[in-house]
Structure 1
Amino acid sequence: MKKLLALIIVLAASINSIAQVSNFEKDSIYIQQVEDHTEPDKVLHAEPLYIDLIRDLGARKGEKEWNLGLGLTDNLKFDSYEALIEYEWAPIDRLGLEVELPFTFYSPVNGTEKDSVPSNQLNSIKIAAQWSFFVNEPMATSMAIGYINEFELSDFRTFGNPFFKGNVYNPFLVVAKRWGNNFHSLIYTGPMIEQNFKTNKFHTTYDINTSFHYMITGTRNFIGIEFNKTFDHSDFDMTIRPQMRLGIADNLLIGIVAGIPVSRENQRLSSFVRLIWEPNH
């Protein structure tokens, strides 16, 4: 009887030890997959879902990703439906490139006259580049600079007259830090300089986007929040975007975002869904 009791105690201790190791491994398995020392250094960071990055920080040559986004915004006089398709890839280590086509469609509400609603449009042709100039695995920190050039197009009502109505110049800086294995923070900031070709006038705003995420142990899933802040001379707008990302398959993810404006001057609640496909992941 004493031998049997001793055997049970030993087995229980072994099972508990195995469970602890298993939990630790689950907590770090995805980080280990990303931060593979046989390749250039890379730190795992949670990427915000609404104002997303051009490519992962510390991108490695050959990485690529397709994104399909769908969104709905409840404005005061009309609803706007957002759709985008984008392709991003890394031709060399640390450099990410992206091409994006964003569309917006409008629908009047509350008896609003159709003529007073903006025309549907392909908003622009966006091309972008991002260079990760600092990647430190021991510090779990990455930094990058980038540039987005947005060729603004005329709406469908006057499409082609002119074809390009303006341009947006958008340099930016990204700083990201992971705290332990699960907590992530990121700052994405830079000016947006809009040029109107017809008047040749420039209008500048400044964006500061901060995000915080918690990545679920042993998965690529996370929950988090974005704070999208825009300074326009004396005006300040902020939208809070709680969000979550779920892995559907090994190379397929879905992100779900809600938008809550702090001031409801022009719009109310919004929602956004992003489908992320990583070929050959």
Structure 2
Amino acid sequence: MKTHLTLFTTILLSVLSYAQIQNDSIVPIDSVTTTPTETRILPAKVSHAEPLYVDLMRDLGARKGEAEINVGFGVGSHRNYNEYYGFVEYEWAVADRLGLEVEVPFSFNKSNGDTKVPTAVPNNKVEGLKLATQYTFLVNEKRKMSLAVAYVHEFEFNTFKSLGHQGSVFTGMRMNPVFIGAKNFGNINTMLYTGPVIEHNYKEREVEVGATINASMMYVIPNSKNFIGVENNMDIDKDGFHYYVRPQVRLALKHNLLIGLVTGIPLTKHENSKLDVMTRIIWEP
């Protein structure tokens, strides 16, 4: 009896020791999906603060099934008109690290009464249909770093006025391959979003090549989804170099509901724009 008890104790201690070793190597319980028939240990993921103006198609290292709905509205002040713009977008992860996005942006413009500037007020329109995909090919938890590639394709729509005169629905398309790199330095999150921009105008049969560079740095409040930081939007096209700096803040109203506020300040002198303000509502169903 004593021998059996000793053997039982030895086996029990061995099992407990093995369980402890396995527990130390398993991700926390909040990152494990369980069903009555299986337990899935989710892949590694580093949390990065995502810019509010030029956002991503999905979180870097996104896990299958994650989804997000964004609604935004902004006001831009130009020399002789005000622009009221917005967007609705849906993004989801169809597989681990692979995200897709569908976005519909729109804009409405109204003269501000400044007749000294001859520039015509743009017509109102749905800007287009934007489709995008993103794949995170590197997630390094130790270095708090993620790398991804993405592709954004936008079908550009005509104005409401032109459509009323039986104009073509589409005026062109915009293609933008993107490289994304993000690294965290403690509570400081940095991100680079850059790539060439190719625009094809159907009517004029022209192809223009430019580039976009978006660099951001955010301070994330510890143990929260709140952050404050700045986003730098730089674009190169046929009209030259355009540079906006965008201070921003994001607040979590609930664990799955966030709101962000962005202010745009043009730094290049030849810009027709003055200031703009945009708010973004983020819901994770």
Residue 243 of structure 1 and its aligned partner are, at CA, apart by: 0.3
Q: Which runs of 5+ in 2 are unaligned?
A: 1-27, 33-39
2:112 equivalent to 1:109: yes
The amino acid across from 1:108 in the alignment is S
Query: Map of 1:107-146 to 2, 5 A cutoff?
Result: 107-112=110-115, 116-146=120-150
Match of 1:221 in 2: 226
SS in 2 for 1:116: coil
Match of 2:277 in 1: 271
Asked if 2 retains the 8 angstrom alpha-carbon contact of 1:45 and 1:184, the reply is yes
Aligned residues: 248
Which of 47, 52, 56 matches 1:49? Answer: 52
Output the CA distance in 2 between the equivalents of 1:101 and 1:239: 23
Match of 2:217 in 1: 212
Root-mean-square deviation (Å): 2.1
Q: Which has the larger radius of gyration?
A: 2
Which of 153, 158, 174 matches 2:157? Answer: 153
The amino acid across from 1:164 in the alignment is F
Output the CA distance in 1 between the equivalents of 2:29 and 2:109: 43
Which of 263, 266, 272 matches 1:258? Answer: 263
Which of 226, 235, 243 matches 2:240? Answer: 235
Which of 142, 153, 172 matches 1:166? Answer: 172
The amino acid across from 1:152 in the alignment is E
Asked if 2 retains the 8 angstrom alpha-carbon contact of 1:34 and 1:42, the reply is no
SS in 2 for 1:70: strand
Residue 204 of structure 1 and its aligned partner are, at CA, apart by: 1.4
Output the CA distance in 2 between the equivalents of 1:238 and 1:191: 16
SS in 1 for 2:161: helix
Match of 1:94 in 2: 97
Output the CA distance in 2 between the equivalents of 1:161 and 1:208: 34
Output the CA distance in 1 between the equivalents of 2:253 and 2:141: 28
Change (3 A) 1:243 1:118: same
Q: Which runs of 5+ in 1 are unaligned?
A: 1-31
Output the CA distance in 2 between the equivalents of 1:94 and 1:214: 24
Output the CA distance in 2 between the equivalents of 1:244 and 1:169: 29
The amino acid across from 1:263 in the alignment is T
Output the CA distance in 1 between the equivalents of 2:246 and 2:119: 31
Residue 116 of structure 1 and its aligned partner are, at CA, apart by: 2.7
The amino acid across from 1:209 in the alignment is N
For residues 238-267 of structure 1, give each alpha carbon's deviation from its aligned partner in whole angstroms, at most 9, with x where no partner exists: 100000000011210000000010024211
Output the CA distance in 2 between the equivalents of 1:148 and 1:173: 11
Asked if 2 retains the 8 angstrom alpha-carbon contact of 1:153 and 1:166, the reply is yes
2:45 equivalent to 1:39: no
Change (3 A) 1:164 1:233: closer
The amino acid across from 2:181 in the alignment is V
Identity among equivalent positions (%) equals 45
For residues 21-56 of structure 1, give each alpha carbon's deviation from its aligned partner in whole angstroms, at most 9, with x where no partner exists: xxxxxxxxxxx7887793101001000000000000
Residue 218 of structure 1 and its aligned partner are, at CA, apart by: 1.4
2:50 equivalent to 1:63: no
Output the CA distance in 2 between the equivalents of 1:246 and 1:106: 29
Change (3 A) 1:234 1:149: closer
The amino acid across from 2:283 in the alignment is W
Runs of 4+ in 1 over 6 A off after TM superposition: 32-37
Moved more, 103-112 or 117-126: 103-112
Output the CA distance in 2 between the equivalents of 1:170 and 1:97: 15
